[in-house]
Structure 1
């Protein structure tokens, strides 16, 4: 059987649970009151101690002043009684302040010469407070003289060859009454201050949390079916206002992401439906009219659509893996110049285009398969839109290798040069597959280049029409100086035009681009 939990541990656990369950308003109020209480106790205690010291110093000063006055009045005639006037003056000083609690005793040779009424009959106080040397003062607090503690000042001197001591007992009742009054006022005022601070904190925190509660209600009512709602933004530029703006920006991003996802699903469904529909139609025709299509023609049709379907599925899977955070590509040395020359030879063998390749040694770290896919997609894109010539180039610029693919086609409108790297973007509403692809090739390029720590951009060819797709990747090692000093920008990669209007005619600027 498990041992019972100690009561103190249970109370502590209950307090922790209560604190966790309490709202921010309650926690803020409790914290503000506790902090203010601690500050009040510390400052109040310090203030009372300072006040007590000041009051006692005042009492001590009063006692010393009275003792000095009495010492001046002590003369041989007053001590021995031979001078009645001096003795009367001394007695008057001794009893002058008795009404306010100041009592005096003059002791000479161990005997009381004169004393206040309250000290009459008491033994010499100098026996309890030893006399000090002449003109020296000692202030001591005696436990009791009568019914209350008093502050005692002792002054020693000599007159007419006789030693005498003046003892003044000053009452501290007034100081203690003042100290009690100050303590009561401090405690009462502190309590009122704590109540007012707690109430004000609760009200102000509640008002500050109203926008947060409105944000919570709005977000709580937002569903994946409708992301158009926005949280209210309070006036000002405080933390809550910035939180509201951040929440609205997040909702806007979610809405844009949802739209992109739905558009992606719709486009993917459309792209997948087309080859499937073609295959089904061919199969239906073959079933209903077995001799209408030659076997070779049927096989070529089915094989072509299957290859297109396979490529589309592979592209979709590649992009899906990229969205899920695919691991970083393998880091091996890849010669971009050799890769570009190999792909240029492939393009020459498969098309009638004029293909020019200009390379400089450029070695990067990356995945050879992904970089081959990047180059091939860019070259296929250029070949699809070129009128007669494609230029492939690799050069080094500082620590980077710059790969460019230029065609002499219609080019890409400046407003669409960033959008062409989005998924399923084709700058032709008809989606004609004679000129346009699936719209995934450049998206794959952008993703692969970003995974390698590089960048890709689209510019216009100069001089003449056309488009330039430029990829920048970090070099594996710094290349020797030589070919890497030309700037990167909209400058053409060579001085020759890549095409003119007579080579096959200009196509409209809205021609589709993969």
Structure 2
């Protein structure tokens, strides 16, 4: 796509100047027309008043009315008898024929425009004709006013408008360009900072936030919040990739070492022990890959559910029975029957992950309690192991988190079990949290961890 030329500043200035140009052009035309119309109306009203005065004199006296000295070539008056003769006239047209032919009724007024008057050399006049009853019969008073003043005023205004028009447009363009530049300066600063951030390997930098609470300030605040989320996601992804590669490298290194030793010393290799070790590492890789694929699907599309009625107590007892004899840790389940709506496969996986985590950390016993009520069902899984520090109660649900880094990684865990269990709980509209029964430094009898899974008891309460 070809970028538009000129940038926002130039385009905005051009648009603003064009809009002002159109507005000023229309306003100038309207102004000239209105001014001309007002002047013509004023002259017409003046002529009508003069015609009324003369008509009053004609109606009140039989003598010749006083028409004054006239207004030069700008104004003239005639009193025309019924037979068309001029009974009285202004000095400048004395002895001339009537300026127009008009026959208004008594007391009525006619207004015409004419350029054929005997004075003014082709100037346009407005002529007012008023009918009046004189001593010798009906008469017509004619008053003419020259429109030369209108033409002169228009001739003065139009050049002024034509001169001022480009000056105003230039001023508008320069002012708009400067104002838009000032308004876009914070945006340019944000763009420059984002460009630098894009070229860096980290997302720690932030864009400048201008003072105030306008749209640009809110844009900067939103971008900084977005950069913070991107930085957090990038750091989490980097840790996730590093931890996943380390988790995969460890069993692969064990498998490689076992086969290299067997290849170099085939006669001394005890295949009865090497084979199970290799299979155990392969099982670990398989579980890790499966967990990673599940979390990747959850991150991208969410967790699809096949919702049915699930007897949670039966599911918990089946998983507890599977773990109790092989591990040597006693799993005690108590609680009444409890039914929820959800996906039995995913719920079984969540319960299995929670129980396996508790068994790995327990000393002798894992206690499982089912506590149903009208709103939801609580599943409490408590072990008598070393417990969880207060500061790590939430961190244990992060991916690949191990609170005891010195603990061997060959105990069957992938570091993803609790993270997967929480994703399953959230997908069902529930919650999963951890509570500590002591600290890592306390005595075993005073310690222990409690994981609480809460699931809605009906579909209406479940958040999709």
TM-score range, shorter chain: 0.7 to 0.9
Residue 113 (structure 2) aligned to one of 117, 136, 141: 141
**Aligned pair in 2 of structure 1 residues 348, 191: CA closer, same or farther (>3 Å)?**
same
**Aligned pair in 2 of structure 1 residues 439, 293: CA closer, same or farther (>3 Å)?**
same
**Aligned pair in 2 of structure 1 residues 188, 408: CA closer, same or farther (>3 Å)?**
farther
Q: Write out aligned runs for 1:301-450 (5 A).
A: 301-325=277-301, 328-350=304-326, 351-366=328-343, 368-387=344-363, 388-398=365-375, 400-433=376-409, 437-450=413-426
The answer to whether the 8 A contact 1:344-1:357 is kept is no
In 2, the alpha carbon distance for the partners of 1:411 and 1:97 equals: 118
Residue 191 (structure 1) aligned to one of 166, 172, 190: 166
Moved over 6 A (4+): none
Residue 10 (structure 2) aligned to one of 26, 37, 40: 26
1:113 positional shift: 0.8
In 1, the alpha carbon distance for the partners of 2:116 and 2:373 equals: 100
Q: Write out aligned runs for 1:448-459 (5 A).
A: 448-459=424-435
Counterpart secondary structure, 1:318? helix
The answer to whether the 8 A contact 1:360-1:396 is kept is no
**Aligned pair in 2 of structure 1 residues 171, 384: CA closer, same or farther (>3 Å)?**
same
Matched, 1:66 2:50: yes
In 2, the alpha carbon distance for the partners of 1:475 and 1:469 equals: 19
Unaligned residue ranges in structure 1 (runs of 5+): 1-16, 79-85, 480-514
**Aligned pair in 2 of structure 1 residues 36, 381: CA closer, same or farther (>3 Å)?**
same
2:441 maps to which residue?
none
Q: TM-score, normalised by structure 1?
A: 0.77
1:164 positional shift: 0.8
**Aligned pair in 2 of structure 1 residues 376, 285: CA closer, same or farther (>3 Å)?**
same
Matched, 1:470 2:462: no
Matched, 1:268 2:252: no
**Aligned pair in 2 of structure 1 residues 144, 363: CA closer, same or farther (>3 Å)?**
farther
In 2, the alpha carbon distance for the partners of 1:404 and 1:111 equals: 124
In 1, the alpha carbon distance for the partners of 2:386 and 2:433 equals: 17
Number of residue pairs matched? Answer: 446
- Deviation sequence 1:188-209 (CA, Å, 0-9, x none): 3333222111111111222333
RMSD (CA atoms): 3.1
Matched, 1:123 2:100: no
**Aligned pair in 2 of structure 1 residues 321, 76: CA closer, same or farther (>3 Å)?**
closer
Q: TM-score, normalised by structure 2?
A: 0.84
In 2, the alpha carbon distance for the partners of 1:76 and 1:303 equals: 135
**Aligned pair in 2 of structure 1 residues 154, 407: CA closer, same or farther (>3 Å)?**
farther
Unaligned residue ranges in structure 2 (runs of 5+): 439-445
In 2, the alpha carbon distance for the partners of 1:39 and 1:466 equals: 80
The answer to whether the 8 A contact 1:33-1:197 is kept is yes
The answer to whether the 8 A contact 2:103-2:131 is kept is no
1:428 positional shift: 1.8
